[in-house]
């Protein structure tokens, strides 16, 4: 039918009020509150995604990311998407159909790597630990010897269990077994020690909304020369066009800077500012701050009569899992914290549903006053 013969439907012409969101303190597994300087940077005037001034912003973001990752990798950039998009970029480019991918699973996000790698046609092998545990080097060595994979994937900071998987030595093992090492750093980048080059990590990916103090929307990723060699030797094109590293590299690196997609300008301003703050503070001080405030929280929990789920030796400073006491309704407590105190924490899920709360003290939010606020609110809610 011709446009002039049609009448406009008013059905969905909703009258909604001006946006006014509550002042939440985001102490769940992410997002955490963005740094005020980051929010300010997002309001900066817009330029085009190929404007020379934006290209400079892109270069600065990449250089600051290299600092945060502790890498000299040329192929270091933020993916336009959340942490899962960065995870999918790792799998899309590294995995060719038929590749043997070994996933060392210690929680839900390891399972997500299994799911993704399976979808991309890998011959996926899985080794698992109980939720709340991490792998030892000997266990990983045995698994590599048994499966002889092309790629080993694991999660450094398992957000579902609050466990920090120690990484030292795994890169050397992977070289010994001639396989690539892919590490999920979504809840660790900028919050806990991470040395991509020194630890021999071939692909590491993360997000913007946790320890980097930005809103969600970008997924930093870095590829080592070994990873790039595997990508250049592919005989098949990566399945996803949007997440094809070679196409992305034409936009992010090199002389021509060809259009690939319209990068989210304001989010890149945000990430630049978040990373600038990381560089100002320095990684050593930042990692120490996260550990100090986490320790302060863990000690305070004992006073409230609560205990941590993850063992102290492998406990993640950025995300704490707290055991829900017998007879307490985990969801009701989280609901009351949100409703009465504007504090967001999350419950456990899957195997830990109803058994733990998950508390993130990350980035800009990693401050003593926030820990005290949450402890006092918990004390009141639990009576
Ligand atoms: C360890 C881990 N990996 C991957 C993801 C997925 O990131 P996103 O939710 O930003 O897509 C998350 C999200 O919390 C995570 O904690």
C-beta atoms surrounding 216 within 10 Å = 16
C-beta atoms surrounding 72 within 10 Å = 12
pLDDT digits (tens, 9 = 90+) for 213-270: 999 999 999 999 999 999 999 999 999 999 999 999 999 998 889 999 999 999 999 9
**Cα 87 to averaged position of ligand 1 atoms, centre (Å):** 8
Sign of CA dihedral 280, 363, 154, 77: negative
Q: Number of helices (H) and strands (E) in the chain: give both, helices first.
A: 12, 14
Evaluate whether 156 touches 165 at the Cβ level (below 8 Å). yes
**Cα 160 to averaged position of ligand 1 atoms, centre (Å):** 10
Evaluate whether 106 touches 129 at the Cβ level (below 8 Å). yes
Which parts of the chain register pLDDT below 70?
A: none
pLDDT digits (tens, 9 = 90+) for 146-170: 999 999 999 999 999 999 999 999 9
265-281 vs 283-304: helix crossing angle, rounded to 10: 90
DSSP 8-class letter at 217? -
Residue 81 pLDDT: 98
Alpha carbon distance 65, 39 (integer Å): 19
**Cα 209 to averaged position of ligand 1 atoms, centre (Å):** 10
The candidate with the shortest Cα–Cα distance to 277, out of 135, 67, 123, 116, is 67
30 lines ligand 1 (CB under 6 A): yes
Residue 254 pLDDT: 84
Mutate which of 109, 113, 155, 243 for ligand 1? The one with the most ligand atoms within 8 Å of its CB, which is 109
Evaluate whether 338 touches 344 at the Cβ level (below 8 Å). yes
Evaluate whether 203 touches 151 at the Cβ level (below 8 Å). no
Evaluate whether 84 touches 106 at the Cβ level (below 8 Å). no
**Cα 107 to averaged position of ligand 1 atoms, centre (Å):** 12
Calculate the CA dihedral of residues 285, 289, 292, 297 and round it to 10 degrees.
-170
Residue 68 pLDDT: 98
Cα separations in angstroms, 380 against 326, 327, 342:
18, 17, 14
Checking phi first, is residue 381 left (phi over 0); if not, alpha (psi -120 to 50) or beta? Answer: alpha
295 lines ligand 1 (CB under 6 A): no
Evaluate whether 251 touches 172 at the Cβ level (below 8 Å). no
Specify the 3-state DSSP secondary structure of 350. Answer: helix
Q: 240: exposed, middle or buried (C-beta count within 10 Å: 0-12, 13-18, 19+)?
A: middle
Evaluate whether 164 touches 156 at the Cβ level (below 8 Å). yes
340: CB partners within 8 A, 6+ apart? 377, 381
184 lines ligand 1 (CB under 6 A): yes
186 lines ligand 1 (CB under 6 A): yes
Residue with CA nearest ligand 1 atom 10: 83
Residue 1 pLDDT: 85
C-beta atoms surrounding 170 within 10 Å = 24
Element (H, E) at 339: helix 330-341
């Amino acid at each position: 039918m011709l446009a002039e013969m049609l009448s406009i439907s008013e059905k969905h012409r909703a009258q909604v009020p001006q946006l006014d969101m509550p002042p939440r303190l985001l102490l769940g597994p992410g997002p955490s509150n963005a740094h005020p300087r980051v929010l300010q940077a997002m309001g900066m005037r817009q330029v085009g995604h190929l404007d020379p001034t934006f290209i400079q912003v892109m270069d600065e973001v990449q250089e600051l990311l290299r600092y945060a990752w502790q890498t000299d990798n040329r192929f270091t950039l933020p993916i336009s998407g959340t942490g899962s998009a960065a995870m999918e970029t790792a799998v899309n480019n590294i995995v060719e159909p038929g590749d043997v991918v070994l996933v060392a699973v210690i929680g839900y996000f390891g399972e997500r790597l299994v799911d993704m790698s399976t979808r991309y046609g890998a011959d996926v092998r899985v080794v698992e630990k109980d939720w709340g545990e991490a792998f030892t080097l000997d266990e990983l060595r045995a698994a590599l010897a048994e499966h002889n994979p092309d790629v080993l994937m694991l999660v450094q900071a398992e957000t579902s269990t609050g466990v920090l998987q120690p990484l030292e030595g795994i890169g050397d093992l992977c070289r010994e077994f001639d396989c690539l090492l892919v590490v999920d750093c979504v809840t660790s980048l900028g919050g806990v020690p991470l040395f991509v080059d020194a630890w021999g990590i071939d692909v590491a990916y993360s997000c913007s909304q946790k320890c980097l103090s930005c809103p969600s929307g970008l997924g930093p990723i870095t590829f080592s020369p070994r990873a790039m060699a595997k990508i250049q030797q592919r005989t098949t094109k990566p399945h996803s066009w949007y997440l094809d590293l070679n196409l992305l590299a034409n936009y992010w690196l090199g002389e021509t800077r060809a259009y690939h997609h319209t990068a989210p300008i304001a989010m890149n301003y945000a990430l630049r500012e978040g990373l600038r703050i990381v560089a100002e503070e320095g990684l050593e001080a930042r990692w120490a701050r996260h550990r100090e405030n986490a320790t302060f929280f863990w000690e305070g929990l004992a006073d409230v009569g609560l205990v941590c789920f993850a063992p102290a030796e492998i406990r993640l400073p950025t995300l704490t899992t707290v055991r829900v006491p017998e007879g307490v309704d985990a969801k009701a407590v989280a609901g009351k914290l949100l409703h009465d105190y504007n504090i967001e924490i999350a419950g456990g899920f899957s195997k830990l549903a109803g058994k733990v709360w998950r508390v993130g003290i990350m980035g800009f939010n990693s401050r003593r006053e926030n820990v005290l606020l949450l402890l006092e609110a918990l004390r009141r809610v639990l009576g």
